[in-house]
Amino acid sequence: MDKVKGFALKAKEKGSAVAAAAKEKGSAAMEKAMEKAKESAGRAKEKVNEKRDQLRPKLQEAYGKADPGLQEWLRKPHVEYLRSNPKAMIALCTLCAAVGVPGASTISTCLSLMGPVEALAPLIVMFAEPLAAMLV
């Protein structure tokens, strides 16, 4: 019986070590992905500013169809709203993709597959800020 307990203890320790290593590797991958996403958001902001005149009519049309809470958020984008209203993340990314913000369709697809991810809220705000500036 002691051999079984010893084996179980060793398996548990090894499993914990593997889980910790996987978590650390996942964190590093997440950080790298977030850095790439921030770079993409920066490029998207530049593209939106370049295509401001082309995007404004699409934005105004999409804005008119958006729910009032999302319309208010677009006037003053902040992360807290997205954290308290996770479905708004998907709606906002869909709106950004419909308007033509570069990279927004990729994030929209990810959110539709995985559901709202709180870690993406600051990134979504970065994508939406140039659009919000057009509405002011």
Is the model's pLDDT at 125 over the cut of 70? yes
Is the model's pLDDT at 19 over the cut of 70? no
Give 92's contacts (C-beta < 8 A, 6+ positions apart): 70, 73, 82, 124, 128
Q: What is the pLDDT of residues 78-88, one digit of tens each?
A: 888 888 888 88
Cα 72 from Cα 77, distance rounded (Å): 8
Beta strands in 1-136 (DSSP E): none
As a whole-number percent, the residues of the chain with pLDDT over 70 amount to 75
Q: What is the pLDDT of residues 34-59, one digit of tens each?
A: 777 777 777 777 777 787 888 788 88
Cα 41 from Cα 129, distance rounded (Å): 10
Give 78's contacts (C-beta < 8 A, 6+ positions apart): 125
Average pLDDT, the chain: 75
Which tokens in the block code for residue 83?
């954290």
**pTM for this prediction:** 0.58
- What number of CA atoms fall less than 13 Å from residue 100's CA on the CB side? 16
- Of 21-25, 30-34, 53-57, the one with minimum mean pLDDT is 21-25
Give the pLDDT of residue 72. 85
Share of the chain residues as helix, strand and coil, in percent rounded to the nearest 5: 90, 0, 10
Residue with tokens 């490029």, as numbered in its chain = 43
Is the model's pLDDT at 26 over the cut of 70? no
pLDDT-based confidence at residue 13 (cuts at 50, 70, 90): low
Helices (H) and strands (E) counted in the chain, each on its own, are 7, 0
